[in-house]
Structure 1
Amino acid sequence: MRISGLATGMDTEQIIRDMMKAHRIPLEKITQKKQYTEWQMDDYRSVNRNITDLKYKVTDTMGRQSTFMQKTVNISNPNAVGIKGLSAISEFAGTIKVDKLATQASLQGGMLTNVKGSTRLEQLEGYDGEKIIKVRAIDKNGELGEVKELKFSATDTIDSVIKKINSETGVNAFFDEYTGKIAMTAKNSGALKGDVGTPSIVIEGKLGDVLKLTGTHDPDDDNSPKFTAGNNAEFIFNGLKTQRASNTFTINGFEVNLKQVTTDEVTFSSAPDTDKIVESVVKFVDDYNKLIEELNEKIREPKYRNFQPLSDEQKKDMKEKEIELWEEKAMSGTLRNDPTIASLLTNLRQLMSSQVETSNGEFISLKKIGIEPIKDFKENGKLAINEDDLRKAITENPNQVYELFAKSATDTDKGGIAIQFRKTMDGFNAVISEKAGTTGTVSDNFAMGRSLKSMNQQIDRFEDRLKMMEDRYWRQFTAMEKAIQKANAQSANMMNMFGQ
């Protein structure tokens, strides 16, 4: 039981609170250190995330050959033939004459009388409980694919049958209520290999009979199915007469799309798509410069030593705006002069000035394609681009520009700039992760996490000691109050006795 100033009239609670303030100073210092460490850890993780994002972005663009092999293709008749570069290393030129376009096989069923899309199977003429239809169609290799057996219930409708056929087989089907017929088209175009008499869409099962999709075509019977075979595309490419199962195919890393039959030869020629390649390189340099700027800001950010993290008690006496302005300065400079970031910046500057040996034994650098560090030392290693020089290098030798950025690394060769950039960033990520961890990492697995765990334990132990100390003060003051109260009572009794 706590007695507060009943006998002495003292504000015991305020006295003890003031006494405890002095004892709490070491605890506040630990708490401030913990808060600062958390801010520092968050800043490390933020830098690590930004670097990881850029690392993958560079890998997915500047680290891929396709970025530098982009082509523009000039075609004399683009309405008849379309050509675009996919992964071509060399240039592509010649002629093409289209004799026949590839077509898909089709199957037109017989007429179903008084049938709609909502008609149930059990309502069809000839339905006797058979619920299975087997569908087989030409595959991508020009051969009959595996049989797909579909099962239905009596309450399934024409529409639900069509939907399942489309989703699970190699044909696209639809029901035309106007003619009362089901029509199917093979998903893969071209002629069936082997026996030319074999249909490339095969329907089996009694349900197929009911839907009038089976049997032999009779020109005089509108209720008989009609099959039309698919054709291969036939064309003459640079004097070679050849075929493809599809109108879209790839030759030497270029995608060719046949659109129309032609009577004359269509000429075509490719060239590097300089604009797109330049755009990719400029984006890389812009992202790199942004990273350099952010990292330099971090290690040069001012540190305000007079602005320590605020305690809860201190925040109670401050306005929200005052707290915001204070913490803005308190959080500043958490990574000032950080040696890991400073080392990364040095490594990046050296990397961007290095040379790469190409496959023909020549050495090439960013400087040779118009990319150099800005001479103003205040820019701290940012890069500048001379687009005229860059375009010239891409036009003259796009493969060499590709090797500068994306040449693969070997045991004796560090590889291109983008490959080395990825490796440098991987090393930085590992160091920072070991120091500050990542979101969700167990605290015991990284240095700052272990430090924070130790601080939390210190805070808990200190809180326990302070509670014990406060309880002791209360016991002492309570004992004093009781003693004075007892003395006062004895004094009053004596006065009463003398008064008698």
Structure 2
Amino acid sequence: MRITGLASGMDTESIIKDLMKAQRIPLDKIMQKKQYMEWQRDDYRSANKKLFDFRTLTSDTMIRQSTYIQKTVTSSAPDDISVKNVNSTSDFTGKINVKQLAEAATMQSTERVLASDADLTKKLKDLNVTVPTSFTIKTIKADGTLDKDGYIVKLDENSTMQSVLDDINKNSGVNAFYDSFTGKMAFTAKNSGELAKTIAADGTITNNNPSEIIIEGDTNNFLKLEDAVATDGKNAIFIYNGLETQRQSNTFQINGFEVSLKKASNTDITFSSAPDTDKILASVTKFVDEYNKLIENLNSEIREKKYRDFHPLSTEQKADMKEKEIELWEEKAKSGTLRNDSVLSNALGQLRSALNSAVSGVAGADRLSEIGISTSSNYMENGKLVIDETKLRKAISDDPNQVYELFAADGATDSEKGLARRLVATLDETRKKVIEKAGTDSAVNTTFSLGRTLKGYDDQISRFELRLQNIETRYFKQFSAMESVILRANNQSSYLMNAFGGGQ
């Protein structure tokens, strides 16, 4: 806390403040450079985010075969069977006659397990029920064989019926249900169908495990299963294109398409597939649209005008301006941070080259133009892609696999790689260079080039602020010394005045 100007009557604070403004000019320039570089870093990261988003779209859509194998399937009886494509690259037709639906094995207790008013959350010992320490559930597995080891259900005095049910349903191969009305337990195998049979060389069919649900170790007959009512599982029986066959489940795959049986109608049901042109077209169109947005954004960045007379504002400058004035000023000050940037300029050239080159070794179309996608003739659009929807739709409808190969072929050389794979490689390389220059949101300054420069600015600012503090302290000392001299002079003058006046 300083009290100045008592002797001189001068506004020392204001004088020193004005003197320090001149001293702060070099510091303000350093802080302006730092601010501009922070804007540049943020713009690089924003561009990197756009590159990443487009790279993700390209990888997840244009390189995945699932994008191109989408099909529409028609059925003469969709309420009886449903058919959908899973991974078939070619169209399929067929005829199915369903004789029998698959069913899961069941087992029910013959006597009441708990009293009708029993609380399933109470401990079994409090319900006057004697329980075994454990029992084992064996049942049919997804491959049709018996789980010979089974799942061991462990019980103790603190077990409740609810905890036993939860354990069975979560960990074993059956679903258990306690019916409070009848007081009985019911079990249903999670996997439907019959146990797989062993066929000997002479054609004899044997099955050493006749039951799909086996419960062992219930020594106290806790589950009341001594004379359990059980029904065996059944396989689905159907005729597919003249061949009678079976499946454990009502949902299964044949040649890359999935069939779901819903009803045993004993009638011939026909189905056929065709490429889902609309969905495939939508995916390709979205890719083209996002590509056009990306190159438009990158071109705007490298061509954005730089206003050299508009520097970042200092705190003192902002204090003298209105909010709208600050906003308009900084809009121009931030402009052009990536103007003529070599990394982004090279990336744009490589992206255009990747899409305009032919793909060697693919059957059918080897260029975008052959499937209805071409580069805009308007040079002002900087290489945007234009879609001839009629031509692209026909290419997809005729052979969606050739479109897949054009984009996703995984050749040994660059010329043999699909267009989308080339784009991904270019995007990855560009992002690597941008990250080396501007880092990521979680990166520390010492790990990228702009960050290291920013750290250097921070060090300069710290040293300069310390220097300014010393200068300001020196000014106050100098003015304080001046005040002391003036005060002594005033005292001497008063003394002399008093002395001369006294002599008269």
Match of 1:170 in 2: 173
Post-superposition Cα deviations, 1:143-197, rounded to whole Å, max 9, x if no partner, equal 2223222223435433332222111211111111222211111111111124265
1:443 lines up with 2:445 in the alignment: yes
User: Which among 386, 389, 392 is matched to residue 390 of structure 1?
Assistant: 392
One-letter amino acid of the counterpart of residue 406, structure 1: A
1:200 lines up with 2:202 in the alignment: no
Match of 2:154 in 1: 151
CA distance in 1, matches of 2:397, 2:323: 59
Contact 1:371 1:386 (8 Å CA) reproduced: yes
1:50 lines up with 2:62 in the alignment: no
Post-superposition Cα deviations, 1:442-468, rounded to whole Å, max 9, x if no partner, equal 211100000000000000011111111
One-letter amino acid of the counterpart of residue 453, structure 1: K
| TM superposition shift of 1:122 | 2.4
Q: Which structure 2 segments of 5+ residues have no match? A: 198-206
Over 3 Å counting, the alpha-carbon distance change for 1:206 and 1:264 in structure 2 is closer
User: Which among 177, 187, 191 is matched to residue 188 of structure 1?
Assistant: 191
Match of 2:119 in 1: 118
Match of 1:455 in 2: 457
Contact 1:2 1:478 (8 Å CA) reproduced: no
| TM superposition shift of 1:481 | 0.9
Over 3 Å counting, the alpha-carbon distance change for 1:197 and 1:148 in structure 2 is closer
| TM superposition shift of 1:300 | 2.1
Over 3 Å counting, the alpha-carbon distance change for 1:471 and 1:124 in structure 2 is closer
CA distance in 2, matches of 1:208, 1:472: 97
| TM superposition shift of 1:357 | 2.4
| TM superposition shift of 1:328 | 1.9
Contact 1:173 1:184 (8 Å CA) reproduced: yes
Identity rate, percent: 51
Q: Which runs of structure 2 are paired with 1:31-430 in the superposition (5 Å)? A: 31-112=31-112, 114-116=115-117, 118-119=119-120, 120=122, 121-123=124-126, 127-128=129-130, 130-145=132-147, 146-194=149-197, 195=207, 197-206=209-218, 209-212=221-224, 214-215=225-226, 224-360=227-363, 364-411=366-413, 413-430=415-432
Contact 2:62 2:407 (8 Å CA) reproduced: yes
One-letter amino acid of the counterpart of residue 367, structure 2: S
Instruction: Give the SS at the match of 1:307.
Output: coil
Moved more, 177-186 or 114-123: 114-123
CA distance in 2, matches of 1:144, 1:208: 25
Match of 1:12 in 2: 12
Contact 1:405 1:416 (8 Å CA) reproduced: yes
CA distance in 2, matches of 1:498, 1:205: 127
One-letter amino acid of the counterpart of residue 381, structure 2: E
TM-score in terms of structure 1 length: 0.93
Instruction: Give the SS at the match of 2:359.
Output: strand
Post-superposition Cα deviations, 1:359-390, rounded to whole Å, max 9, x if no partner, equal 44x55111111111121122221111111101
CA distance in 2, matches of 1:59, 1:175: 49
Contact 1:191 1:230 (8 Å CA) reproduced: yes
Over 3 Å counting, the alpha-carbon distance change for 1:264 and 1:463 in structure 2 is same
Over 3 Å counting, the alpha-carbon distance change for 1:358 and 1:269 in structure 2 is farther
CA distance in 2, matches of 1:257, 1:192: 21
Over 3 Å counting, the alpha-carbon distance change for 1:363 and 1:77 in structure 2 is closer
CA distance in 1, matches of 2:359, 2:118: 67
| TM superposition shift of 1:407 | 1.0
Post-superposition Cα deviations, 1:8-45, rounded to whole Å, max 9, x if no partner, equal 11111111111111111110010011011001101100
Over 3 Å counting, the alpha-carbon distance change for 1:151 and 1:432 in structure 2 is same
Moved more, 161-170 or 415-424: 161-170
1:474 lines up with 2:476 in the alignment: yes
Contact 2:302 2:336 (8 Å CA) reproduced: yes
Instruction: Give the SS at the match of 2:67.
Output: helix
Contact 1:409 1:419 (8 Å CA) reproduced: no
Moved more, 477-486 or 314-323: 314-323
One-letter amino acid of the counterpart of residue 354, structure 1: S
Match of 1:495 in 2: 497
Post-superposition Cα deviations, 1:249-304, rounded to whole Å, max 9, x if no partner, equal 11221111122223232222222111111111111111111112211221222222
One-letter amino acid of the counterpart of residue 339, structure 2: R
CA distance in 1, matches of 2:454, 2:220: 72
One-letter amino acid of the counterpart of residue 339, structure 1: S
Q: Which structure 1 segments of 5+ residues have no match? A: 216-223
CA distance in 2, matches of 1:189, 1:12: 95
Moved more, 456-465 or 296-305: 296-305
Aligned length: 489
| TM superposition shift of 1:101 | 1.5
One-letter amino acid of the counterpart of residue 245, structure 1: Q
Instruction: Give the SS at the match of 2:428.
Output: helix
Over 3 Å counting, the alpha-carbon distance change for 1:59 and 1:207 in structure 2 is farther
Contact 1:102 1:244 (8 Å CA) reproduced: yes
